[in-house]
Amino acid sequence: MITTLVREEQTVKPDIQVQKEEVFQAKSFNLWYGEKHALKEIDFKIAENEITAIIGPSGCGKSTFIKSLNRMVELVPSVKMTGELLYRGKNILDHKFGVEELRTRVGMVFQKPNPFPKSIYENVVYGPRIHGIRDKKILNEIVERSLQGAALWDEVKDRLNENAFGLSGGQQQRLCIARCLAIEPDVILMDEPTSALDPISTLKVEELVQELKENFSIIIVTHNMQQAARISDKTAFFLNGELIEFNKTSAMFSNPHDKRTEDYITGRFG
Ligand SMILES: Nc1ncnc2c1ncn2[C@@H]1O[C@H](COP(=O)(O)OP(=O)(O)OP(=O)(O)O)[C@@H](O)[C@H]1O
Ligand SMILES: [Mg+2]
């Protein structure tokens, strides 16, 4: 009876169009490293099952912003934040918010592939093992599913027990993506995930990112304008800690509203 009621309530949403929910929303979000005001009054919404690109010149706060989204930025002791950062409607800056839970929902892939000095298999099962999964059959399934998801399975299925350092850079990066998928996150944060890769590996990771958005929400920092234009649905342009412009990628690249965005994407500065 109760479930019927809940279902009915859920179906009487006022929206007629199918609106995507937002995974994250920043509201007047500010961040300081000591005296350095690194992010200023950031306000925007990040929708689910989309690829959101974050662009802007070096030092503008891109990494700081995405590291705020899983609260990794707090590993820097001098950090102070104000405003709100909502993850699925809950303020993650609230001291009651569980950071461990957040980090299992919001995975991260870094600029340089950083596999552990362990076998390919052990890299993928690392997170699930921490979460207490011991059953070998389940772990095997997770390994296959995650490596499939990261478009790496066919290349490594016969060498799962070999050290991950024996993989190429592009394969290592896809292994790091597989490691991230293994914990079944909701959002994947990527900080320049292809900047250390050759063009072919870059294309593979780009294709992969586009496939992943079916099931995940992806926020990707990139210095590569073509990459942002090719793969993202929306783009946010940061400059000196401010969010200057946020729009559909096609609109931003064809008709930027702010002169500074135009100068940046046409290569006049940055
Ligand atoms: N741990 C830190 N302590 C103090 N200041 C920092 C720290 N990390 C970053 N900053 C400063 O905050 C600002 C934003 O840095 P951030 O790393 O977010 O930039 P970015 O846009 O990712 O740059 P890049 O494109 O070079 O990676 C910079 O001025 C930087 O010097
Ligand atoms: Mg950075």
Neighbouring CB atoms inside 10 A of 30's CB total 16
The tally of domains found in the chain comes to: 1
Please report the atom of ligand 1 found closest to the CA of residue 57: 25
pLDDT tier at 196, thresholds 50, 70, 90? confident
In a domain, 220, yes or no: yes
33 CB under 6 A from ligand 1?
yes
* Residue 4 domain flag: no
| Residue closest by Cα to atom 17 of ligand 1 | 63
Tell whether pTM > 0.85. Answer: yes
Q: Which atom of ligand 1 is nearest to the CA of 61?
A: 18
Ligand 1 geometric centre to CA of 239 (Å): 12
Domain, as residue range, for 145: 21-265
211-242 tens-digit pLDDT: 999 999 999 999 999 999 999 999 999 999 99
Q: Whose CA is nearest to atom 5 of ligand 1?
A: 33
8: pLDDT strictly greater than 90 = no
Nearest protein Cα to ligand 1, atom 3: 33
Q: What is the CATH number of the domain that holds 79?
A: 3.40.50.300
The answer to whether residue 79 is domain-embedded is: yes
In a domain, 8, yes or no: no
270 in a structural domain:
no
Instruction: Decide whether any atom of ligand 1 lies within 6 Å of the 63 Cβ.
Output: yes
Q: Which ligand is nearest to the CA of 57?
A: 1
Is 36 within the bounds of a domain?
yes
Cβ contacts of residue 154 below 8 Å, gap of 6+? none
Task: Indicate whether 3 belongs to any domain.
Answer: no
With a 6 Å cutoff on the Cβ, whether 59 touches ligand 1 is yes
Mean pLDDT of the chain: 91
Q: Angle 169-181/136-149 helices, nearest 10 degrees?
A: 130
Quick check: is 13 in a domain? no
For residue 60, the ligand 1 atom closest to its alpha carbon is: 21
The 8 Å CB, 24+ separation contacts for 248-253 are 249/53, 253/225, 253/228, 253/229
Angle at 85 between CA 81 and CA 87, to 5 degrees: 145
Average pLDDT over residues 93-111: 91
Q: Is 68 in the pocket of ligand 1 (CB under 6 A)?
A: no
